[in-house]
Amino acid sequence: QSALTQPASVSGSPGQSITISCTGTSSDVGGYNYVSWYQHHPGKAPKLIIYEVRNRPSGVPDRFSGSKSGNTASLTISGLQAEDEADYYCTSYAGTTTYVVFGGGTKLTVL
């Protein structure tokens, strides 16, 4: 069982928007602004798409956005494109004992 809870799957049509939630506790998501999101196409290396809750690395389209409220972080993808179909994972720093926790992952299907 993963430390952070994500929906197993979400879907949307091209051009639509979807949101993926990532729920933790006050010891991880709620306690630090160190939530990251990764896009993972099977067989490839995961790619960082959001860091520190809402920041995008260079080269990541602004269709990807992040936010956080309390113990729940969210990733929103607007203007869905076929190439967005992938698995998405959230992570959070969780202090020096647990260190890092992952979400269970969400499979995004673009219909």
Nearer to another protein, 71 or 91 (CB): 91
Angle, vertex CA 99, rays to CA 97 and CA 101, nearest 5: 125
The verdict on 47 binding another protein (CB under 8 A) reads yes
Nearer to another protein, 2 or 16 (CB): 2
Nearer to another protein, 13 or 96 (CB): 96
E strands of the chain, at which residues?
9-12, 18-23, 35-40, 47-50, 64-69, 72-77, 86-93, 100-102, 106-110
At 61, list the tokens: 């389209």
CB of 70 to another protein, least distance (A): 19
Binds another protein (CB under 8 A): choice among 25, 34, 63, 72 = 34
Nearer to another protein, 13 or 44 (CB): 44
CB of 82 to another protein, least distance (A): 23
Task: Provide the edge-to-edge strand list for the sheet that holds 64-69.
Answer: 18-23, 72-77, 64-69
Q: Are 8 and 108 in contact (CB under 8 A)?
A: no
Q: Which positions touch another protein (CB under 8 A)?
A: 2, 34, 36, 38, 40, 44-48, 51-52, 57, 87, 89, 91-94, 96, 99-105
